[in-house]
């Protein structure tokens, strides 16, 4: 079993100052997974999603987001399907070409779509966020986590009240397994 990327909440907040606002009030000395579990127990889905998106490495966070958005959204239109496919292609082969395709479709697709935000999450994972003809500009380190969380917020907003607790608990337990370096779970 591998080490969790950020042992404590404070470690995560030190690495990503924007997480303080996105995650909300937290006991900063608490161990990261204990804090995430406390959010799950309280069914504080927005803050739990946010914390988990920051906790996971970028590729893992995008893969986690794709897997769970596919479970939350009943049907994608053709452009949404292409966007999530590009995000998943980047997860499989995280090269510059795959990242560029994900970024390009993320920039032109509907920003009300969870799939668009997953493409942007992959596209903002590194390298320049501008087309090659422009001066390069690197994405800020938190952009991938923030895009994954928005994608999951969109998916969460589309769940029925009866499905929310069940799906989100399993989604976040999957995130805990991934944070530990264990294989993902699906129920």
What are the start-end ranges of the E strands in 6-90?
none
- Tens digit of pLDDT per residue, the chain (187 long)? 457 999 999 999 999 999 999 999 899 999 999 999 999 999 999 999 999 999 999 999 999 999 999 999 999 999 999 999 999 999 999 999 999 999 999 999 999 999 999 999 999 999 999 988 899 999 999 999 999 999 999 999 999 988 999 999 999 999 999 999 987 655 4
CB of 50 within 8 A of CB of 23? yes
Distance separating alpha carbons of residues 83 and 147, to the nearest angstrom:
13
> pTM for the whole thing?
0.95
Residues contacting 80, CB < 8 A, separation 6+: 73, 109, 110, 113, 114, 115, 116
């Amino acid at each position: 079993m591998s080490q969790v990327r950020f042992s404590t909440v404070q470690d995560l907040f030190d690495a990503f100052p924007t997480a303080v606002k996105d995650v909300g009030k937290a006991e900063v000395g608490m161990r990261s997974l204990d804090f995430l579990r406390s959010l799950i127990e309280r069914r504080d889905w927005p803050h739990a999603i946010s914390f988990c998106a920051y906790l996971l490495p970028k590729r893992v966070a995008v893969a986690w987001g794709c897997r769970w958005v596919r479970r939350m959204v009943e049907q994608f239109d053709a452009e949404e399907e292409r966007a999530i496919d590009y995000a998943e292609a980047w997860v499989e082969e995280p090269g510059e070409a795959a990242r560029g395709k994900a970024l390009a479709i993320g920039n032109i697709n509907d920003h009300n779509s969870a799939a668009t935000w997953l493409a942007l999450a992959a596209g903002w994972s590194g390298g320049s966020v501008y087309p090659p003809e422009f001066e390069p500009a690197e994405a800020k380190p938190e952009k991938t986590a923030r895009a994954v969380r928005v994608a999951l917020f969109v998916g969460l907003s589309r769940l029925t009240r009866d499905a929310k607790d069940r799906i989100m608990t399993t989604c976040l337990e999957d995130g805990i397994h991934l944070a530990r370096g264990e294989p993902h779970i699906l129920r």
